[in-house]
């Protein structure tokens, strides 16, 4: 049996398991669309953790958990006669074919950028009730991800710098304005800091770097090094000088270098 046929068989089995849990398990019977929401968000973050760690065993497990949630929502919706899992699959299949006319139609698109621009154009034509291009970016996205997506969308209609040198100049301009704002009000500092972060995120696009991923890797690096200080300190951290902690910080960096 090929992997493709095995996946179809296992998907059918998972559908049956979902039905059995919903009908027989007290916890599963009690769940609603609303009660699952926060759990689904948690599962998404657990998946991103596994991806950052390049833990493919963990990725497979978290994808399974997320797939279960998708079936759970569809099962609840079907009970209330809103939609079924089959309709979910039908919609995404139709959408993918509709938005890839260069594969399922006669349109000729050669580059990734051409594909992205055409995708956004099709999305806008499909959802005419939207007020504008950026209205499709979810309000609840984390701020870094939201800024990155808005910049991507604006760039697809030509609202974009020509090269990364121009963007870096903008970063430096915003950095100077933030420095000047430190002698002004709290609101002024907040605004200029936001502008600087937005410019840095924009610069990351020109470097083809995911800013959310880059920041998360730095978060993890900081955590590892700080825990090294805690584990190797000979006295309470509050009793240590900055110089003593910096010495251990440098040892942590050297330990990382040897591992790499």
Q: What is the mean pLDDT of the chain?
A: 93
* In the chain, domain spans: 3-98, 133-210, 213-259
Contacts of 218 (CB under 8 A, 6+ apart): none
Position with higher pLDDT, 3 vs 191 = 191
What is the 3 state secondary structure string of 64-84?
A: HHHHHHHHHHHHHHHHCCCCC
pLDDT tens-digit readout, 181-240: 999 999 999 999 999 999 999 999 999 999 999 999 999 999 999 999 999 999 999 999
One DSSP character per residue, 158-175 reads T-S-SSHHHHHHHHHHHH
Structure tokens given for 163: 């090269």
Report the candidate in 136, 131, 171 with the shortest Cα–Cα distance to residue 153.
Answer: 136
* Interatomic CA distance for residues 158 and 173, integer angstroms: 22
Q: Right CATH number for 133-210 from 1.10.10.10, 3.20.80.10, 1.10.287.1080, 3.90.340.10? A: 1.10.287.1080
The pTM of this model reads 0.73
- pLDDT tier for residue 258 given thresholds of 50, 70 and 90: confident
Same fold, 3-98 and 133-210: yes
Question: According to CATH, what is the number of the domain 3-98?
Answer: 1.10.287.1080
What pLDDT was estimated at residue 129? Answer: 63
What pLDDT was estimated at residue 124? Answer: 79
pLDDT over threshold 80, residue 130 = no
- pLDDT tier for residue 248 given thresholds of 50, 70 and 90: very high
What pLDDT was estimated at residue 242? Answer: 96
Q: Name the region of 54 (left: φ>0; alpha: ψ -120 to 50; beta: rest).
A: left
pLDDT over threshold 80, residue 1 = no
Other C-beta atoms lying within 10 Å of the C-beta of residue 63: 13
pLDDT tens-digit readout, 55-104: 999 999 999 999 999 999 999 999 999 999 999 999 999 999 999 999 99
């Amino acid at each position: 049996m090929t992997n493709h046929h095995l996946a179809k068989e296992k998907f059918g089995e998972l559908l049956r398991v979902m039905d059995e849990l919903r009908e027989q398990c007290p916890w599963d019977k009690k769940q609603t669309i609303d009660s699952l929401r926060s759990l689904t968000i948690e599962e998404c973050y657990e998946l991103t953790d596994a991806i950052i760690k390049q833990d493919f065993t963990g990725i497979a497990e978290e994808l399974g958990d997320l797939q279960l949630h998708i079936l759970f929502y569809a099962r609840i919706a079907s009970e209330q006669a809103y939609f079924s899992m089959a309709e979910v699959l039908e919609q995404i299949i139709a959408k993918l074919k509709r938005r890839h006319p260069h594969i399922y139609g006669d349109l000729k698109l050669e580059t990734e950028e051409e594909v992205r621009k055409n995708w956004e154009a099709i999305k806008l034509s499909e959802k005419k009730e939207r007020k504008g291009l950026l209205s499709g970016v979810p309000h609840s996205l984390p701020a870094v991800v939201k800024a990155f997506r808005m910049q991507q969308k604006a760039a697809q209609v030509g609202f974009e710098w020509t090269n990364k040198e121009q963007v870096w100049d903008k970063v430096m301009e915003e950095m100077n304005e933030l420095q000047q704002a430190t002698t002004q009000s709290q609101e002024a500092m907040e605004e200029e800091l936001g502008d600087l972060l937005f410019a840095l995120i924009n610069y990351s696009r020109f470097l083809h770097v995911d800013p959310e991923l880059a920041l998360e890797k730095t978060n993890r690096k900081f955590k590892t090094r700080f825990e090294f200080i805690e584990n190797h300190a000979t006295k309470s951290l509050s009793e240590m000088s900055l110089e003593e902690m910096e010495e251990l910080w440098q040892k942590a960096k050297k330990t990382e270098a040897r591992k790499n």
